[in-house]
Amino acid sequence: MKEIEKIELNEWLSELKAYQRNSIEALIESYGEEEAAEKWITSNGPSNNVPFGGESNRDTKPFFERFKVEFGKFICGHPDYEEYRKKLGAESPIIKSTYIAIISAALGATLGFTATLLAPAVAILLASVGKMGLNAYCQGLEI
């Protein structure tokens, strides 16, 4: 897991689909990295638009907090994600797309959200861990 410290944000973002990457880069420019992640996964589409379908809207702010908690548990060694981490352990050197896909799938399974929605936010948070260093990121997290 320490290997991710060597990977920069643009390298993680390069693994996303073009439609995701373009929007995420614009969001980061406007809001910074963590807020960009939050804007992406909690967005309900254009403002001042009433949708005509689907189930009632979720309370999206608490969802992002839960997302960050589960991401921290994954990265910082919580036993809940041991099986998923074993799959990552087999990857050396790191295959970035596999990291994003496996972590997104794991968190999606826990949170009940589709992995493809979470992937851009996972990429941003992985870059944050790399920037801070794994030990510093995990220090103080209550997992």
Partner 1 sequence: MNLFTQIVVTVGRITENGVGMLGTGFIISNDGKIVTTKHVVGGDSTRLVVLMPHIRNINDYQDTTDTRCQPVPVEVLEIDPLKDLCILKADIQFSGNLPTLGSFDNVEIGEELGIFSFPHCVAGRRVLTFQKAELGAKVLLDSSTIKSKHGVINSQSRPGQSGGLIFSNRSQQIVGVLIGAYAPMQGGGISLGGINPQELHQTTHCISAEYISEML
Q: Are 101 and 115 in contact (CB under 8 A)?
A: yes
- Does residue 61 interact with partner 1 by CB under 8 A? no
- Omega before 93 cis (within 30°)? yes
**Pattern of binders to partner 1 over 63-102, x per CB under 8 A?**
x---------------------------------------
Candidate list 30, 59, 79, 86; residue touching partner 1; CB under 8 A? 30
Q: Are 136 and 48 in contact (CB under 8 A)?
A: no
Instruction: Give, as one character, the DSSP assignment of residue 79.
Output: G
- Does residue 12 interact with partner 1 by CB under 8 A? no
- Does residue 40 interact with partner 1 by CB under 8 A? yes
* Euclidean distance between CA atoms 125 and 6, whole angstroms: 14
Candidate list 14, 116, 135, 139; residue touching partner 1; CB under 8 A? 116
* Euclidean distance between CA atoms 64 and 70, whole angstroms: 10
Q: Are 28 and 40 in contact (CB under 8 A)?
A: no
Minimum distance between the CB of residue 26 and partner 1, rounded to whole angstroms?
6
Token output for 127 = 């870059």
Minimum distance between the CB of residue 21 and partner 1, rounded to whole angstroms?
10
Minimum distance between the CB of residue 62 and partner 1, rounded to whole angstroms?
13
Residues that bind partner 1 (CB under 8 A): 17-20, 23, 26-27, 30-31, 39-55, 57-58, 63, 108, 112-117
